[in-house]
Amino acid sequence: MSLSETDLRYPIGKFTPQQSHTSAEISAAVNHIRELPQQLEAAVTGLTNIQLDTPYREGGWTVRQVVHHVADSHMNAYIRFKWTLTEDTPMIKAYNEKRWAETPDALLPVEISLSVIKALHQKLPLLLESLTEEQLLRAFIHPETQKQVVLHNMIAMYAWHGAHHTAHITELRKRMNW
């Protein structure tokens, strides 16, 4: 894979889990999560159906698929947070995100997933802001890696995830002069 392909895949860089996060880092990540619906909506505002059906990179998802993926992914994340807060180190359910991006609902107007993201991101920050230091250390087990994922890293990862996919769209718009 060439450097330019890597840059297109990871326009803001790759996510790196940390051993710990300060309360200021958690607060900043929660604010990024809270702001995602507006940022994602701004990224797609004014795009035509042809533009929405343009892949953000060769072999990548279309802009439309990216928006629907964010809704799917963040719904799964919300459920994973709830499982982790209500069960002892649960084994979460993995899902095949590539195949989910190919289901018929990935062809719907982006406004549908933007509505889901807006509603979800009213609930999610409230939940995350309520977590105690002890709860931030709770973890789930990912079935594919068998590794424990702690909630403070989940918060940081989903702040990154939203920015990552928004950048796919905004960088495509820059390259295409849209």
pLDDT of residue 7: 87
pLDDT of residue 2: 45
C-alpha distance across the termini of the chain, in Å: 27
Q: What is the DSSP secondary-structure string of 25-64?
A: HHHHHHHHHHHHHHHHHHHHTT--HHHHTSBSSTTS-BHH
Look up the CATH superfamily of 21-176. Answer: dinb family like domain (1.20.120.450)
Q: Which helix (H) or strand (E) holds 139?
A: strand 139-141
**Domain ranges across the chain:** 21-176
pLDDT of residue 3: 47
Of 53, 89, 84, the residue nearest 68 (C-alpha): 53
User: What is the 8-class DSSP label of residue 149?
Assistant: E
CA–CA gap between residue 154 and residue 26 (Å, rounded): 10
C-alpha distances out from residue 62 to 12, 27, 47, 94, Å: 18, 31, 12, 23
pLDDT of residue 46: 98
- Write the single-letter amino acid at 115: S
Residues pairing with 55 in the sheet: 62
pLDDT of residue 6: 62
pLDDT of residue 5: 61
Query: What is the residue-level pLDDT of the chain in tens, covering all 178 positions?
Result: 444 666 899 999 999 999 999 999 999 999 999 999 999 999 999 999 999 999 999 999 999 999 999 999 999 999 999 999 999 999 999 999 999 999 999 999 999 999 999 999 999 999 999 999 999 999 999 999 999 999 999 999 999 999 999 999 999 999 999 9
